[in-house]
Amino acid sequence: MIERIVGISITGTSVHAVELSKSGVVSTLHAIDEWENPFGTGPEEADPQALDLFTEYLAAFIKINQVKATHASVALDSSSLFIHRLPVEENSSDGAIREQIRWEIEQYFPGIPSSEFITDYHRMARFPSVRLNEVLSVTVRRTTAQGLEKALANVGLRLHILDADQFSAETTFRQNYPDALRRHIALVGIKGHRIDTTVLKNGNMEAYAFAPVQTLDDICERIATLSRDNAGVPSIVVYGPALTAALLTQIRHGVSVLVEALNPLRNVTIANTLRVGEHLSTPSYRFAAVLGVALRRD
């Protein structure tokens, strides 16, 4: 089992990095930092110059913080991935589902072989009356994954997990909130020009959606609509690099249910050497995805 790991989250505007150790049920934060994102957004091949700059910043993070980890897990901004919901026949095999996903990718990216993509999927809702299940597929360009893997290798790290930031934030919620497996919530990631929403019931994903936004009012209206359309969901948990205290207050004024900011450090011990770290004075909900991807071990 990997006991110490570097977590990296690449958002639309910045890169977040942490070093986290785990011993039994105790997780300890040893380093935390952020810097400007050198990559563009969208499911495009990573720019070699951007990868070089990313490597330079990461090497500095490792040196300054005397990082001891040998593995790294990376959460990518969901806007840089192809995330797609699709119906499949009830009890479809893994092979049948992957074949359907391959066909879907070829429709969205004509002329590009499906072998140029790496895909994983998650089974969500079941509809027994029509003998269908809903599957959520997540796809990244192979060259992007390989570029990140090479950049990590250049600083002595091996890639352990590649995830989407929204799903890493889910891990943060499950592992930091003891009642997570008994709650019914909507988890909302606020990331500048986009929000991602996952409905979780007893720790399991029931639904996923995303929507473009242009203004703070757009964000508030989307979340208010989410609350109205999911009357059975009693609370909303928000996080993300674009979330501020003022926006959190505005969101709360627009809905009738509990709205709380996700605290990724709620159940994480802070190393003594880090207690004066400047980033610990920054609202912690900005770092929900990077802590989540570092907390994952499978």
Are residues 95 and 3 located together in one domain of the fold?
Answer: yes
pLDDT for the residue numbered 130: 63
Token digits for 98? 């992957």
pLDDT at 170 over 50: yes
Whether 169 and 184 map to the same domain: the answer is no
- pLDDT bucket at 49, cuts 50 / 70 / 90: confident
- Same domain as 202, residue 285: no
Query: pLDDT tens digit string along 6-47?
Result: 999 998 889 999 999 998 889 999 999 999 988 865 445 567
- Residue 107: how many other CB atoms lie within 10 Å: 7
Predicted local confidence at residue 42, as pLDDT = 45
Alpha-carbon dihedral sign for residues 111, 115, 120, 126: positive
Q: Which residues contact 95 (CB under 8 A, 6 or more apart)?
A: none
Q: Do 4 and 31 fall into the same domain?
A: yes
pLDDT in tens, 114-124: 889 999 998 88
Query: Which of the pair, 29 or 91, is modelled with greater confidence?
Result: 29
DSSP 271: P
> Do 222 and 207 belong to one domain?
yes
pLDDT of residue 89: 85
**Angle (CA) 24 30 33, round 5°:** 135
123 and 49 belong to one structural domain:
yes
CATH number at residue 207: 3.30.420.40
d(CA 23, CA 10) in angstroms, rounded, equals: 26
Structural domains counted in the chain: 2
Is residue 68 located within the same domain as residue 173? Answer: yes
100 and 210 inside one domain: no
**Two structure tokens written together for 143:** 């060259």
Same structural domain for residues 267 and 255?
Answer: no
132 and 166 fall within a common domain = yes
pLDDT in the model for residue 39: 82
Count of residues in the chain: 298
d(CA 289, CA 9): 6
Residue ranges making up the domain that contains 298: 1-178+263-298
Same domain, 94 and 147: yes
> Tens digit of pLDDT for each residue in 261-281?
999 999 999 998 886 556 666
Between 2 and 226, the more confident residue is: 226
pLDDT per residue as tens digits for the range 55-87: 999 999 999 999 999 999 999 999 889 999 888
Q: Domain check: are 157 and 184 in the same one?
A: no
Q: Give dist(CA 222, CA 136) in Å, integer.
A: 21
| Ordered alpha helix ranges (H), 131-286 | 142-154, 165-176, 216-229, 245-254
